[in-house]
Structure 1
Amino acid sequence: MTTTLAPPVRAGRAAVGALGMLAVATGALESVVTPTLPLLQRELSISPAQGALLSITLLITGALVTPVAGNLGDRYGGRRVMLRLMAVVSAGGLVSSLAPNLPVLLLGQVLEGAMVGAMPLSFILVRRHLPTGESQVAIGVVSGLFVGGGMLGTLMAGPVAEGLSRHWMFAIPTIAIVVATLFVHRLMPDDPPTRPDARIDWPGLALLSGILLTLMLGLSMAPELGARPLVLGALLVLLALLAAGWIRVERRSPSPMVDLRLAAKPQTWSSYAITFAVCVGTAVSMFLVPQLFAVSADGYGFGADSTDIGRYLLPGAVAGAVSGPLGGAAARRFGSTAVVTAGIGTMTATLLAMAVLHTAVWHLVVGKALVALASGVCITAMVVRTATSVDHGNTGTATSLVLVTRVIGFAAGAQVSGAFLAAGTRPGTDDPAESAFVTGFVIAGAVTALSLLAVRTMSKGVRK
């Protein structure tokens, strides 16, 4: 077999469609827990704190698995790793659907978290088997369908759990994952390994996992850390030690988990910086807008119930779903730099406008939709730019780090928002002061705007 990087077989539309179907199914399975937490807490007799643990278990696993999956896909072939990864996810869905108690359900969520690693593997495959222009659009389509699947899972979880049972809300997406995986196996051409003899960097993997776990732990405790300086200091010291150890190991490893020379390139690290800033701004709006809808109508809020809030947020969910294909097509047509600049500008203006204009429901509905659309376009353009700025053998590793940065950015934004609202709530009252929301929107806009400083760096030495 030839050793060049040209794809041995060109993937057809059916193969890309199979990846899209898998993205929808995994997105749906990922999203069913959050809207049904009250039901799960009631049926499994678990506390709100245990419910919070359940809601972030999949996220933590995904953050750990994604860079590993991307790295293994680069070395041993994206299709080969994806099929094995989906076997783990399917097992997790089965465990979750049969879970009689919280420990078993947590095990299922841990296994399901491997699904996040399917994204960089999909990017490996479309880049390997499609021309550059078509692969940019395909990356956007797969990303958008994953978001769309999340929207579908959010909408179907409650009715399925209440109409059938909580078991079926896990079982239905799991069945779809199994079917989609079979289609990928049948339709997607195999991609030959690029580094089949390379050893796995176990020390680097362990240290990177420690860094991500420490970050996620610190973010989950963010509202309490201000009152616990010793804990905050210990976490910072541990994080610094793990990071220093990881950098030392990766520099000396003959086959590093992450090539630090690649990560140090301006177009690479700037992509991570932009992704983080954009996701922080997005997460703040995702957290604040529903809270603002729920504030009592006697004050500055709207007194909306869960059904109303879900209806108000639907346009934003639709905008997020179409943003992936739109971002991929726009990056192909205008270049990633122009797309990201326009998206950041739109996001910044919208967030600052929501700080001033939030006295009517439509203000927030339109604002949330614009933020979701601009954010999705930016992140997709970042993934496209990162994927096309590295050689084929590093596609999975580079894009997986973008996705991990996305997770960390969302987690950081949500925790910062929660801390703002908690600080803005007077003792003896249920609702935060309006100024807490205003401050949150302004800070989100400022953080998003700062990412423009990295956009110019992103374009250095990279073709459009």
Structure 2
Amino acid sequence: MDVMSSTLAPPARIGKVGVGALGMLAAATGTLESVVAPTLPLLQRELSISPAQGALLSVVMLVTGALVAPVAGIMGDRRGGKRVLIRLMAVVSAGGLVSALAPNLPVLLAGQVLQGAMVGAMPLSFILVRKHLPPGQTQVAIGVVSGLFVGGGMLGTLIAGPIAEGLSRHWMFAIPTLVIILSTLLVHVLMPDDPPAGAATRIDWPGLVLLSGVLLTLMLVLAMAADIGSQPIAVGALVVVLAALVTGWVTVERRAASPIVDLRLLAQPAIWGSYVITFAVCAGTAVSMFLVPQLFAVSGDGYGFGAGSTDIGRYLLPGTVMAAVSGPLGGIAARRFGASTAVATGIGVLSATLVAVAFVHTEVWHLVVGKALIALASGVCVTAMVIKAATSVDHGNTGTATSLVLVVRVLGFAAGAQVSGAFLTAGTPAGTDVPAESAFVIGFVIAGAVTALSLLAVRTLSKGAKE
């Protein structure tokens, strides 16, 4: 940490109080983010929407988040993390209130689009954590904030249904939104202002527009990848558009006086290595997130359990708990043993568990334990990657580096989910809707292999700057 940053930094005690407010905000946003998924059947029934419209409702916030996160991180680096965070949370709060009051699907979709801005809160929180805490405490604080966001997601999944059924669907949006408003006020009062990292510069609007186009097109390509056999022309056209957008973006960034993303940052081994590992780990984790519930529900020839939604929720709960504690654990491991060691250990556990589940899944507890280990190892890896990205760059690029990790995380989950769906579709015999057991086995094995290959990139993490 440079001398000027150390001089301007407030006392650690103030920073810790502010981090507590950031953690409360992370938990509230995680709760609001997760209330739609478990109540989708109820929303479809009450709003008279089709399954296709329900699918749109479930992903629109994800798409918005992928677009907003890098923009928020970049703006936080240049304009000050607290200043941008407060304004972003005003947008999220407005979205939550719109969703709470929505009388129909179009209004609810508008609210979800505004809520998607919440993904940008994470890189902005990391900017503030890094500026207002000593280096030795930064890793754990980032892990705590990340873990509370996941914990909030777990809470939202558990309470959304009872609130929607006991009160109304309006309150499942309104309650976490009110907590977000309170948390934002606490952050405003308790967290010291952080000055911009450098002199004010003009925003690279062409680069920003092209980057948004790249991310949106890439998500469309991933969403349609499973249909490449039936729609090769459409998928091929999207790939061409994606290549053109990437080429245009790189060209603009090279020539821009103040690029939206400094390409020299992406060329650092510790940074691109973090992105490669994050993508592989999240893709492998997404395979388990998709296949394990399917395996619980299916009742095939000699395999599967025919479990209902309530039972599946109970079976997945230990994994959700492990995901929540993995953030703080990842921060502690990164501080004590180094990010490279934490990541390598996590990848080893994750890949071994995926392969083990492929061949050992004859009892419910096999999958429960396997899913819990996968969630724990994956969370440790991703948290360590965020920490490594944050501490491998100067303070002026913290938001940029960490926001791109979060975007890569979204892309990895999207890719893993699409590949899993393709495996089950290809492995379902004609005339039946029950996939062959071999489809699950192949999916888990490939996920384990892809995750294990990311170990090749771990050695690049030691080449970044350290705090």
TM-score band w.r.t. shorter chain: over 0.9
1:295–1:303 CA contact under 8 A, matched in 2? yes
| One-letter amino acid matched to 2:375 | A
* Partner-residue secondary structure (3-state), 1:12: helix
- Greater shift, 298-307 or 101-110, is seen at 298-307
* Partner-residue secondary structure (3-state), 1:258: coil
How do residues 176-215 of structure 1 correspond to structure 2 at under 5 angstroms?
A: 176-215=179-218
Q: Is 2:341 aligned against 1:335?
A: no
Q: Which residue of 2 aligns with 1:103?
A: 106
1:3 CA drift (Å): 9.2
Q: Which residue of 1 aligns with 2:9?
A: 8
How do residues 48-59 of structure 1 correspond to structure 2 at under 5 angstroms?
A: 48-59=51-62
Q: Is 2:267 aligned against 1:264?
A: yes
- RMSD (Å), alpha carbons: 1.2
Q: Which residue of 2 aligns with 1:60?
A: 63
Give the TM-score, by structure 1 length: 0.98
1:295–1:431 CA contact under 8 A, matched in 2? yes
Rounded to whole Å, the distance in 2 between the matches of 1:223 and 1:306 is 26
1:390 CA drift (Å): 0.2
1:12 CA drift (Å): 3.5
Residue number among 170, 173, 177 corresponding to 1:170 in the alignment: 173
Rounded to whole Å, the distance in 1 between the matches of 2:109 and 2:84 is 24
**Residues 433-462 of structure 1, C-alpha deviation per residue, up to 9 Å, x if partnerless?**
000000000010011001001001121143
Rounded to whole Å, the distance in 2 between the matches of 1:308 and 1:371 is 20
Q: Which residue of 1 aligns with 2:141?
A: 138
1:223 CA drift (Å): 2.0
Q: Is 2:116 aligned against 1:120?
A: no
Q: Which residue of 2 aligns with 1:160?
A: 163
1:76–1:196 CA contact under 8 A, matched in 2? no
Q: Which residue of 2 aligns with 1:379?
A: 382
- Greater shift, 182-191 or 211-220, is seen at 211-220
- CA spacing shift, 1:202–1:3, aligned 2, 3 Å: farther
1:196 CA drift (Å): 4.5
1:91 CA drift (Å): 0.1
Q: Which residue of 2 aligns with 1:286?
A: 289
Rounded to whole Å, the distance in 2 between the matches of 1:12 and 1:127 is 10
* Partner-residue secondary structure (3-state), 1:4: helix
Rounded to whole Å, the distance in 2 between the matches of 1:113 and 1:296 is 36
Question: 4+ residue stretches of structure 1 with deviation over 4 A?
Answer: none
Residue number among 322, 329, 342 corresponding to 1:319 in the alignment: 322
* Partner-residue secondary structure (3-state), 1:426: coil
Q: Which residue of 1 aligns with 2:83?
A: 80
1:222 CA drift (Å): 2.2
- Percent identity between the two aligned chains: 76
Unaligned runs of 5+ in 2: none
| One-letter amino acid matched to 2:438 | S
2:283–2:416 CA contact under 8 A, matched in 1? yes
Give the TM-score, by structure 2 length: 0.98
**Residues 125-165 of structure 1, C-alpha deviation per residue, up to 9 Å, x if partnerless?**
00001011101100000000000000000001111111111
**Residues 8-35 of structure 1, C-alpha deviation per residue, up to 9 Å, x if partnerless?**
3133332111000000000000000111
Rounded to whole Å, the distance in 2 between the matches of 1:398 and 1:226 is 36
Aligned pair count reads 463
**Residues 176-222 of structure 1, C-alpha deviation per residue, up to 9 Å, x if partnerless?**
10000010001001101123511111101100110111111112222
Q: Which residue of 1 aligns with 2:243?
A: 240
- Greater shift, 337-346 or 225-234, is seen at 225-234
1:299 CA drift (Å): 3.6
Rounded to whole Å, the distance in 1 between the matches of 2:412 and 2:294 is 20
